[in-house]
């Protein structure tokens, strides 16, 4: 807005004391101050309001006005409440520095002026930004602009003073805006929490934007959504726009503007998704060859085509790793394969999987409820055991477990299995079966999001998922139910004692120290366990039975 518009608003009660030729200056904000030197808080274009408490003698006026003029402020409004009339030395200083000066009647509060200016400036900024967003949308839909979502987020920051981020459903930051003096990065734990809150709110069917207070700030979450008949098909792959502001009292115009921003970013989301088509097709071809028992030479030829696409510039053939994921919905009314494919693409692109920077070098195919990722691993310079150090199941889902768990809560489940790395086409079939077996191990565990790796297949854990449910329940009940019943009646903590005793390999001293018990008390509890179950914890066979019962319970 222009300074001239302030004089035309009679309710503000402003009176011009000087600077009539400068009334076409643009006002970008308001600052109220009585500091002798407010320069550190000025960025240019402000209407400065002051009660003149900084003035001790006439020389102060010259110094104060010079500071404002150097900072490029739009004008100065001086209140009459402190001194009555505005001092002549202030009028003369403003005239020397060509700074427009207004007197503010003592019956008009600075808050009223501030509210009026902010409302007008925000409205004008929103209108200007809406035009820019609309123009940018037309450019992006007609062809690539190279700007990506960062361009429109920077517009939100510069024109509406809004910090905003585009996040994946796992909380990975895809793009961010920055304001003066603040960086665009969101802490990883905060981003994951926002993604989880968004997924939970979207699953509940509540109308957006969803608002949440975290870390002393309020965030409004806007979905960046594909059109779909079933929300479950896209919820775990759609991006979201997180804005550091409370949208609860926003006008319809501003909400419409943010909706336009999400539509604009959705264009980029579709563009990036389309760019994965080649990698998906390569993965599908390799998967079909492996599953149909094609000759290793034919599979190797297809891998030679895939390697430059997934690892451009690679001089030697990479090692490969297989990751299998399955999404299952209660009721079985929705295929989980496409959802699992999108999730694997997102999880495997996360920073930390292949290094500090995001990577997009995996190829994922899907069939039925299962998705299979073909992951290339650079050949190590000096391999110690003939295999590359690849993905580990424990680390794979550690960052994304919380948000994905909230998105699946209620009727969905994600299980993931990871194979060991192989260095040739001959090993891919075995790697695929290994990853599928590991996924079955993960499926036997409680929780909405579970993963298991090839390293677990060499232990007893491999056997547990294939034990019939009724056999598992009977075995567990026979060993542990007497202890649970005794704990309920006497609060004796026999089950925790048994777990600690086995974890300490039967060491009385270490177990007593861990449980903060006297050794005699521990011996009494172990004796009670043996009496109730008829087992002997000094025998390896009985220790193993208890260990398996606890793992299956």
**Residue % of the chain over a pLDDT of 70:** 80
In the predicted structure, residue 62 carries a pLDDT above the cut 90: yes
In the predicted structure, residue 79 carries a pLDDT above the cut 70: yes
pTM here is 0.57
Top pLDDT among 238 and 468 is at 238
Top pLDDT among 464 and 498 is at 498
Burial of 423 (0-12, 13-18, 19+ CB in 10 A): middle
Distance between alpha carbon 315 and the CA centroid of its chain, in Å? Answer: 35
Return the pLDDT at 360.
Answer: 60
Q: Which of 200-209, 316-325, 461-470 has the highest mean pLDDT?
A: 316-325
State the average pLDDT over residues 287-294.
86
In the predicted structure, residue 56 carries a pLDDT above the cut 70: yes
State the average pLDDT over residues 283-290.
86
Top pLDDT among 468 and 327 is at 327
Return the pLDDT at 501.
Answer: 92
Top pLDDT among 394 and 61 is at 61
Residues near 279 by beta carbon (within 8 Å), at least 6 away in sequence = 309, 310, 362, 363, 364
Return the pLDDT at 475.
Answer: 79
Q: For residue 345, what pLDDT band results from cuts at 50, 70 and 90?
A: confident
Instruction: Locate 377 and state its tokens.
Output: 């691993």
Q: For residue 357, what pLDDT band results from cuts at 50, 70 and 90?
A: very low
Asked if residue 236 lies in contact with residue 229, where contact means CB atoms within 8 angstroms, the answer is no
Domain-wise residue ranges, the chain: 3-108, 145-275, 277-464, 469-552
Q: Which of 161-165, 254-258, 448-452, 529-533 has the highest mean pLDDT?
A: 529-533
In the predicted structure, residue 254 carries a pLDDT above the cut 80: no
State the average pLDDT over residues 209-218.
86
* DSSP-assigned beta bridge partners for residue 375: 321
Return the pLDDT at 2.
Answer: 81
CATH topology of domain 277-464: Alpha-Beta Plaits (3.30.70)
CATH topology of domain 469-552: Arc Repressor Mutant, subunit A (1.10.10)
Return the pLDDT at 386.
Answer: 40
CATH of domain 3-108: 3.40.1390.20
Asked if residue 416 lies in contact with residue 397, where contact means CB atoms within 8 angstroms, the answer is yes
CATH superfamily of 145-275: Dynein light chain 2a, cytoplasmic (3.30.450.30)
Instruction: Locate 215 and state its tokens.
Output: 């870390």
Q: Is 320 helix (H, G, I), strand (E, B) or coil?
A: strand
Return the pLDDT at 459.
Answer: 55
Asked if residue 220 lies in contact with residue 245, where contact means CB atoms within 8 angstroms, the answer is yes
Return the pLDDT at 142.
Answer: 42
DSSP state of 169: T
Top pLDDT among 382 and 9 is at 9
Q: What is the largest CA-CA distance in the chain?
A: 102
In the predicted structure, residue 438 carries a pLDDT above the cut 90: no
**Residue % of the chain over a pLDDT of 90:** 16
Return the pLDDT at 523.
Answer: 93
Return the pLDDT at 133.
Answer: 56
In the predicted structure, residue 152 carries a pLDDT above the cut 50: yes
What is the chain's mean pLDDT, rounded? Answer: 79
In the predicted structure, residue 91 carries a pLDDT above the cut 90: yes
Backbone angles phi, psi at 408, to 5 degrees: -90, -10
Q: Which of 119-133, 233-247, 482-496 has the lowest mean pLDDT?
A: 119-133
Q: Which of 207-211, 423-427, 493-497 has the highest mean pLDDT?
A: 493-497
């Amino acid at each position: 807005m222009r300074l001239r518009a302030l004089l035309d608003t009679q309710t503000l009660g402003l009176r011009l004391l000087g600077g009539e030729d400068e009334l076409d200056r643009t006002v970008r904000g308001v600052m109220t101050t009585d500091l002798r030197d407010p320069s550190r808080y000025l960025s240019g274009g402000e209407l400065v309001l002051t009660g003149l408490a900084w003035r001790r003698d006439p020389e102060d006026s010259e110094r104060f006005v010079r500071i404002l003029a150097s900072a490029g402020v739009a004008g100065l409004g001086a209140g009459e409440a402190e001194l009555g009339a505005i001092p002549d030395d202030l009028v003369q200083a403003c005239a020397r520095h060509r700074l427009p000066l207004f007197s503010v009647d003592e019956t008009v509060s600075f808050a009223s002026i501030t509210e009026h200016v902010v409302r007008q400036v925000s409205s004008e900024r929103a209108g200007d930004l809406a035009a820019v967003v609309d123009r940018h949308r037309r450019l992006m839909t007609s062809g690539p602009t190279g700007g990506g979502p960062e361009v429109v987020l920077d517009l939100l920051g510069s024109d509406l003073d809004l910090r905003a981020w585009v996040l994946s459903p796992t909380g990975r930051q895809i793009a961010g805006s920055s304001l003066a003096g603040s960086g665009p990065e969101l802490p990883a734990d905060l981003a994951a929490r926002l993604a989880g809150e968004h997924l939970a709110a979207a699953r509940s069917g509540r109308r957006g934007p969803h608002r949440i207070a975290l870390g002393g700030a309020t965030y409004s979450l806007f979905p960046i959504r594909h059109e779909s008949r079933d929300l479950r098909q896209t919820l775990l792959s759609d991006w979201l726009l997180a804005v550091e502001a409370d949208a609860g009292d926003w006008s319809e115009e501003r909400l419409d503007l943010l909706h336009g921003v999400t539509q604009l970013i959705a264009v980029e989301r579709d563009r990036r998704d389309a760019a994965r088509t080649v990698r998906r097709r390569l993965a599908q071809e390799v998967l079909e060859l492996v599953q149909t028992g094609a000759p290793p030479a034919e599979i190797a030829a297809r891998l030679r085509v895939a390697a430059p696409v997934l690892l451009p510039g690679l001089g030697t053939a990479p090692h490969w790793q297989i990751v299998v994921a399955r999404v299952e919905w209660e009721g079985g009314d929705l295929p989980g394969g496409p959802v699992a494919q999108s999730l694997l693409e997102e999880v495997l692109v996360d920073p930390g999987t292949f290094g500090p920077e995001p990577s997009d070098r995996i190829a994922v195919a899907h069939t039925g409820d299962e998705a299979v990722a073909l992951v290339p691993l650079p050949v190590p310079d000096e391999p110690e055991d003939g295999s590359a150090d690849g993905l580990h199941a424990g680390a794979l889902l550690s960052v994304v477990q919380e948000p994905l768990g909230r998105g699946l809560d209620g009727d969905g489940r994600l299980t993931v299995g990871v194979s060991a790395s192989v260095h040739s086409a001959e090993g891919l079939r075995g790697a695929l079966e290994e990853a599928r077996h590991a996924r079955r191990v993960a499926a036997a565990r409680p929780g909405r999001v579970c993963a298991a790796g090839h390293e677990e297949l060499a232990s007893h854990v491999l056997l547990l998922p294939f034990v019939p449910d009724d056999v598992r329940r009977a075995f567990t009940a026979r060993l542990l139910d007497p202890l649970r019943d005794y704990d309920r009646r006497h609060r004796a903590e026999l089950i925790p004692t048994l777990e600690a005793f086995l974890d300490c390999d039967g060491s009385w001293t270490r177990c007593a120290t861990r449980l903060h018990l006297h050794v005699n008390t521990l011996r009494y509890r172990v004796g009670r366990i043996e009496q109730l179950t008829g087992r002997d914890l000094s025998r390896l066979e009985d220790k193993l039975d208890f260990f398996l019962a606890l793992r299956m319970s």
